[in-house]
Amino acid sequence: MQSLTSRAKAVERSPMTFLEQLYLWNILKGMFITFLHIFKKQPTIRYPEQKREFSRVFRGLHVLNRDSEGRENCTACGLCAVACPAEAITMEAAERLDSEKHLYREEKYAAKYEINMLRCIFCGLCEEACPKDAIYLSETFTPADFARKNFIYNKSDLLIPHRINQAEELSAAKGL
């Protein structure tokens, strides 16, 4: 048969030795390798009793940030949604009223802000794209759940607690 390439190489198989013909020998070799693994450090982490140490660049659950006066930073510019490769972010913008200046930093704010955690790949591009330091990825992971709808995180799930009005919640969120 004509070969399609000049690099084809016929492999010569050496005949099996007597020990190889006794398959028991290979089984014993395999079991010996398994036995050696007993003395190696276990890679399994027994969560939740043991917690994994995260890398400094770990990207977990998103947090919507507030400024030093407790006002929401997000101005609903949509840059995070445009940057998101998984199309996981949805938002609706609204105009701030004069009476809401203590709630929102800019004239526009996100009346609705949702992230679908089942779509998110935790790439951090939303954080990179944000010009207002409004969104960042924390060191917490998304908790497990049985219902898909519970993985759509809305603004109340994402917004960091207010440092004065919700001091206790903020301490709990920071693990203090």
97-100 long-range contacts (CB < 8 A, ≥24 apart) are: none
* C-alpha to C-alpha distance for 66 and 72, rounded to whole angstroms: 4
Interface with ligand SF4 includes 76 (CB under 6 A)?
yes
- Shortest distance, CB of residue 159 to ligand SF4, whole angstroms? 11
- Shortest distance, CB of residue 29 to ligand SF4, whole angstroms? 46
Confirm if 73 and 103 have CB atoms less than 8 A apart.
no
Q: Within positions 110 to 149, which residues make up the interface with ligand SF4, using CB under 6 A?
A: 110, 115, 120-126, 129-130, 132, 134-135
Residue 158 corresponds to which tokens in the numbers above? 């994402």
- Shortest distance, CB of residue 5 to ligand SF4, whole angstroms? 43
* C-alpha to C-alpha distance for 167 and 66, rounded to whole angstroms: 13
The residue range among 16-24, 26-34, 73-81, 163-171 that interacts with ligand SF4, by the rule CB under 6 A, is: 73-81
The residue range among 18-26, 41-49, 75-83, 163-171 that interacts with ligand SF4, by the rule CB under 6 A, is: 75-83
* Residue closer to ligand SF4 (CB basis): 115 or 160: 115
Looking at the DSSP assignment, which residues form a beta bridge with residue 93? 110
- In the shown chain, the binding pattern of residues 26 to 55 toward ligand SF4, with x for contact by CB under 6 A and - for none, equals ------------------------------
Interface with ligand SF4 includes 75 (CB under 6 A)?
yes
- Residue 109, judged by CB atoms within 10 A of its CB (0-12, 13-18, 19+), counts as buried
Confirm if 15 and 8 have CB atoms less than 8 A apart.
no
* C-alpha to C-alpha distance for 64 and 91, rounded to whole angstroms: 13
Binding site for ligand SF4 (CB under 6 A): 74-80, 83-86, 88-89, 91, 110, 115, 120-126, 129-130, 132, 134-135
